[in-house]
Amino acid sequence: MKFEQYAISRKIKDSLRELSFVKPTDIQYKAIPSILKGEDVLAIAQTGTGKTAAFAIPAINILYTQKRSSSFKGVRCVVMEPTRELVIQTARNFQLIGKYTNISILGLFGGVEQDPQIAKLKKGVDVLIATPGRLFDLISQGYVDLRALQLLILDEADHMLDLGFIDDIRQLIRYLPQKRQTLFFSATINPEIKKLAYSLVHKPVRIQISPKDPVSKNVDHYVSFIQKDDKRFFLEQCIKNNAEHKILVFVRTKVRAERVKKAMGRVEIQAETIHGDKEQKERSAIMRKFSSGEIKVLIATDISARGIDIANISFVVNYDLPDIPENYVHRIGRTGRGTKRGNALSFCSTEEKEILSEIETFLGTPITIISLDKYQYQETIESSHAVTHDMQALLRDVESFEEIARKKAKSKKKK
């Protein structure tokens, strides 16, 4: 079945054609008809399968065909996202799909001035895409009217629970009309998520895509056993061997992200970092540079994994393995999206072998090992520009020490 055959507005079909959307993905094929019928949906689908379009296409069609009155000043649809980056990406997708409609779309997140957001809310908004923090802040100030809400969409629900938003979500329900359509999308599911989902939806259509395979089949997975202090040499080699490709590197902490960036800088590799300590303006600028290819290497923490929806990322490198196996899925979901192929390369130190085992159990399959003998391992380290840089720094230190010693000796002689 093609999008041309769906019972959706011609204006939406025109935008889909411009976006080269011809045939729906599995999640789109299964979710769109149920959403168009007005049914609640509980969908479990791996990252990179087209989840956003699966709810954006029918949501825009519902709102466009059920026009609001000019006096309406509330919100008709809320899409909740766990991160600012996901709000931006989802809002952009809604805008592209609804390009030829008059649907108003607002991305709402913290870290920026709220006055421009409030001004738009006062005029009434069809689709409000928001992070919980800023949404509840403006609700408490009385700027968000949800009394006539038609659609509630929870995206990346598992990650929202990881970030501790469950109480915020439950609080939100108090402001919503009982008669509404609820769509619940998540890449993974566990008992807590299932409990939350069934407390929100009413007789939902349950959709589960590839339940035995939580990751895209378009991604090839590899692991190399590398000691923690040597990882920078192997990352340097990976980047230089794939200089024309976009590479997304995941580390465990913000401090580690900055250290890895400095290590790459010492070997003349330009990289940027994205994490929670950066201001929104800076984060947006970095994402634009990475998207355009101005920078090829982006170093991120797990908090950013769900918010990076950039085309043509060839490699995801797990510089540090994630503490939670599910986060491996979300990390590598940034590559191999749609019909494109991608690669996931993990560096596993001795301390991380137990984590690797947990990840392989979660995936249900072992990850292909790239074996390195002692000669190959040592050659990678010795061929690194970092070794030359460190040696030069050491020689400078020696020269400096000798110069100080000479000056001291000269001063002593004068005395």
* Collapsed DSSP state (helix, strand, coil) of residue 183: strand
DSSP characters for 239-269?
A: HHHTTTSEEEEE-SSHHHHHHHHHHHHHTT-
Output the six-digit token pair for 26.
């599995």
From 196, 165, 167, select the one nearest 182 (Cα to Cα).
196
From 266, 198, 231, select the one nearest 352 (Cα to Cα).
231
Q: What pTM did the predictor assign?
A: 0.67
* Residue 337 · residue 49 · CB < 8 Å: no
Provide the pLDDT for residue 350: 94
User: 281 falls in which pLDDT band (50, 70, 90)?
Assistant: confident
> What's the CA gap between 48 and 57, in Å, rounded?
16
pLDDT tens digit string along 207-244?
A: 987 655 556 678 899 999 999 999 999 999 999 999 89
pLDDT tens digit string along 236-277?
A: 999 999 989 999 999 998 999 999 999 999 999 999 998 877
The domains of the chain, with CATH numbers, are 3-208 (3.40.50.300), 219-391 (3.40.50.300)
pLDDT tens digit string along 292-346?
A: 899 999 999 887 655 566 778 999 999 999 988 878 888 888 888 766 789 999 9
Provide the pLDDT for residue 346: 96
Q: In what order do the strands lie in the sheet with 219-225?
A: 272-274, 297-300, 246-250, 313-318, 342-348, 219-225, 368-369
Residue 166, amino acid: I
